[in-house]
C-alpha cells in the first residue's frame, strides 16, 4: 500500500505505547503535544496577517464571512461564526457557516457528506456568495472534496478565498487566494485531527476573526465595546466595561447604558463626550463605527 503523504495521517513516532501509559503520563502526552498547535499558528502569522488585510475591504463594503468545512473543521467554523454576534454584535446574516451534511452534521457524523465536490459547490451557490464575501475554507487534510467544491464555486463568484489546512502542498492551499498552512504533524492518536490540528484551526480562526473585528471598530482599546447587554451576565460585563473605559461611577454608567439600549460603545461615547444617545450614535455613524475616531472627531 502506498503511504499517505499527509502528515496529519502519519503515526506519531513518540507514542507507540500510548495505551500502556499511567494516567498522569497519558494526560501529559496530550497536553504537551498541544504545544505544536501554538507553534504552527505562530509560524502562520504572516499568512494570517495577509488574509486579514485582504478580507478587510470586502467586509467594509458589506460582505460576509462564509465558512466551509466538514467534520471537526466544519464545527469549528460554525462555532466561530456563531460567536461573532454575542461578542462583537456582528450581524448573524453576515457570518454564514456551511458544513458538509448540513446542520445535522453539527451533532452527528454524516457519513460520506464530505466526499462530494458538488455538495460544496451547491451550498456556496445556495448561500448566494458574491464578490464582497470572504470564504474561509477549512480542512485539516487539505484534500476534502466538499471544501474544494466550495472554494471552486466561491472563486467563480468572485469572492476572496482563504484556506486553512494542516498539511503542506495540498489542493486546498493551492486553490485559494490566501493559503494558511498550520503544519501540526502527526497526532498523538494517529489521524485524530480533532486534537492539535483542531486546536491550531481554532487559534487561527480566533486570531483571524478577532483581528478583523478590531480593524472594523468593534473594540475600543482592548475592550469589547460593540456588544449589547442581553442577559444578566452580559449586563454585569457591560457595566464593568463602561466604568473601566470612562471612569464614571456605576450609577452614571448604568444610566448611560439604559439610554443606549444596552450598547456599550454608545454609552462610552455618551459619557466621555457628555452627549445624549442620539448624538453619540450620530458620531459613531460618521466615524464608521470606530469609537476612538468618534471621540477624536472635532
Scan for cell 476573526, then name that residue: 209
Q: What is the CA radius of gyration of the chain?
A: 22
DSSP H helix total and E strand total for the chain: 13, 5
Assess contact for 105 and 99: CB atoms under 8 A: yes
Q: 94: exposed, middle or buried (C-beta count within 10 Å: 0-12, 13-18, 19+)? A: middle
Say which of 9, 93, 111, 114 is annotated catalytic.
114
Instruction: Return the H-helix or E-strand segment holding 80.
Output: helix 71-88
Q: Which has the closest alpha carbon to 145: 115, 177, 173?
A: 115
Say which of 9, 83, 232, 296 is annotated catalytic.
83
- Told to judge if 296 belongs to the known catalytic residues of this protein, a careful annotator would answer no
Question: Rounded to 5, what percent of the chain is helix, strand, coil?
Answer: 55, 10, 35
Q: Give the strand pairing for 95-99 and 134-139.
A: unpaired
Scan for cell 463602561, then name that residue: 242
Phi, psi of 183 (to 5 degrees): -85, 85
Q: First vs last Cα of the chain: how many Å apart?
A: 71
- Told to judge if 114 belongs to the known catalytic residues of this protein, a careful annotator would answer yes
Please report the sign of the dihedral spanned by the C-alpha atoms of residue 58, residue 59, residue 64, residue 69.
positive
Angle between helix 232-246 and helix 250-259 axes, rounded to 10 deg = 120
Residues forming the active site: 83, 114
Amino acid at each position: 500500500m502506498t503511504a499517505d503523504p499527509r502528515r496529519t495521517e502519519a503515526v506519531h513516532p513518540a507514542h507507540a505505547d500510548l495505551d500502556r501509559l499511567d494516567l498522569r503520563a497519558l494526560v501529559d502526552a496530550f497536553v504537551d503535544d498541544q504545544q505544536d498547535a501554538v507553534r504552527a499558528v505562530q509560524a502562520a502569522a504572516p499568512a494570517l496577517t495577509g488574509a486579514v488585510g485582504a478580507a478587510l475591504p470586502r467586509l467594509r463594503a458589506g460582505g460576509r464571512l462564509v465558512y466551509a468545512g466538514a467534520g471537526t473543521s466544519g464545527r469549528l467554523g460554525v462555532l466561530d461564526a456563531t460567536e461573532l454576534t454575542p461578542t462583537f454584535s456582528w450581524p448573524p446574516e453576515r457570518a454564514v457557516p456551511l458544513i458538509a451534511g448540513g446542520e445535522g452534521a453539527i451533532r452527528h457524523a454524516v457519513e460520506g457528506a464530505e466526499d462530494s465536490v458538488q455538495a460544496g459547490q451547491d451550498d456556496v451557490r445556495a448561500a448566494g456568495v458574491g464578490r464582497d464575501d470572504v470564504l474561509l475554507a477549512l480542512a485539516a487534510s487539505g484534500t476534502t472534496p466538499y471544501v474544494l467544491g466550495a472554494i471552486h464555486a466561491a472563486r467563480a463568484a468572485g469572492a476572496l478565498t482563504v484556506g486553512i489546512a494542516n498539511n503542506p502542498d495540498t489542493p486546498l492551499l493551492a486553490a485559494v487566494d490566501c493559503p494558511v498552512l498550520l503544519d501540526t504533524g502527526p497526532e498523538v492518536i494517529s489521524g485524530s485531527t480533532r486534537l492539535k490540528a483542531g486546536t491550531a484551526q481554532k487559534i487561527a480562526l480566533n486570531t483571524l476573526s478577532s483581528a478583523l473585528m478590531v480593524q472594523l471598530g468593534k473594540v475600543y482599546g482592548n475592550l469589547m465595546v460593540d456588544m449589547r447587554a442581553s442577559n444578566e451576565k452580559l449586563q454585569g460585563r457591560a457595566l464593568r466595561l463602561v466604568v473601566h473605559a470612562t471612569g464614571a461611577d456605576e450609577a452614571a454608567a448604568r444610566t448611560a447604558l439604559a439610554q443606549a439600549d444596552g450598547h456599550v460603545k454608545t454609552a462610552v461615547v455618551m459619557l466621555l463626550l457628555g452627549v445624549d444617545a442620539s448624538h453619540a450614535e450620530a458620531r459613531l455613524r460618521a466615524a464608521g463605527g470606530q469609537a476612538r475616531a468618534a471621540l477624536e472627531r472635532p
